[in-house]
């Protein structure tokens, strides 16, 4: 049986030429609709996967930061140092030297009243995680952690930038 004509499309690629008319049948429109659904679903899946991977990377990074925080709270230098990236290990060499540096230069990270995760970004395998800290004296700080992927697939802390928040 005949296909019903859904629409007409005028096509005139060059000015001054007479427009040609193309008839679209229901069968062609259905196939085109199926093709478009496949394209749209494929794009959604492809664009959605990096988002899922980033969410997973951020959750993993937060777990690493939280584990180091817990090790610091127990004064477990060896475990806290185990979360440091190779570049940090090369600078401090031993867990005791690392722990001494944290106590002196990162007192709000070492001892605090609160430690809450803020915004995070993940790009090229690196995760940047903001942590809002209230130190033992009640002062507000922001720590920006950067974690980098390791050859074994783990994430390690490659830097932590600490800044005191100023009251507005």
- C-alpha distance across the termini of the chain, in Å: 75
Residue 85 maps to a domain: yes
Domain count, the chain: 1
Residue 99 maps to a domain: yes
Question: In this prediction, what percent of the chain has a pLDDT beyond 90?
Answer: 59
Pairing between strand 20-25 and 5-11?
antiparallel
Residue 90 maps to a domain: yes
Write down the pLDDT at residue 11: 35
- How do residues 144-168 score in pLDDT, each as one tens digit? 999 999 999 999 999 999 999 886 5
Looking at per-residue pLDDT, the higher value among 115 and 38 belongs to 115
Residue 32 maps to a domain: no
- How do residues 90-102 score in pLDDT, each as one tens digit? 999 999 999 999 9
- How do residues 79-92 score in pLDDT, each as one tens digit? 999 999 999 999 99
Nearest residue to 4 via CA among 21, 29, 22: 29
Nearest residue to 130 via CA among 149, 117, 148: 117
Residue 51 belongs to a domain with what CATH number? 3.10.450.630
Per the listing, tokens 């932590």 go with 160
Nearest residue to 141 via CA among 104, 168, 109: 109
Label residue 39 by pLDDT band (50, 70, 90).
low
pTM of the model: 0.68
Per the listing, tokens 């100023």 go with 166
Q: H/E/C letters for each residue in 71-109?
A: HHHCCCHHHHHHCECHHHHHHHCCHHHHHHHHHHHCHHH
Residue 81 maps to a domain: yes
Using DSSP's 3-state secondary structure scheme, residue 124 falls into coil
Calpha distance 114→99 (Å, rounded)? 20
Looking at per-residue pLDDT, the higher value among 27 and 141 belongs to 141
The range of the structural domain enclosing residue 155 comes to 41-164
């Amino acid at each position: 049986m005949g296909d019903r004509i859904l629409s007409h499309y005028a096509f005139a690629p060059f000015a001054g030429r007479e427009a040609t008319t193309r008839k679209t049948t229901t069968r062609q429109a259905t196939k085109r609709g199926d093709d478009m659904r496949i394209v749209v679903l494929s794009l959604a899946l492809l664009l959605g996967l990096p988002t899922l991977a980033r969410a997973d990377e951020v959750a993993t990074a937060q777990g690493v930061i939280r584990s180091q925080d817990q090790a610091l709270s127990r004064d477990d230098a060896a475990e806290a140092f185990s979360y440091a990236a190779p570049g940090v290990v090369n600078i401090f060499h031993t867990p005791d030297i690392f722990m001494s540096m944290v106590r002196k230069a990162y007192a709000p990270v070492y001892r605090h009243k609160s430690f809450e995760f803020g915004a995070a970004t993940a790009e090229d395998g690196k995760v940047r995680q903001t942590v809002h800290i209230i130190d033992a004296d009640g002062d507000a700080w922001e720590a920006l952690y950067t974690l980098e992927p390791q050859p074994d697939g783990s994430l390690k802390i490659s830097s932590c930038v600490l800044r005191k928040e100023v009251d507005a």
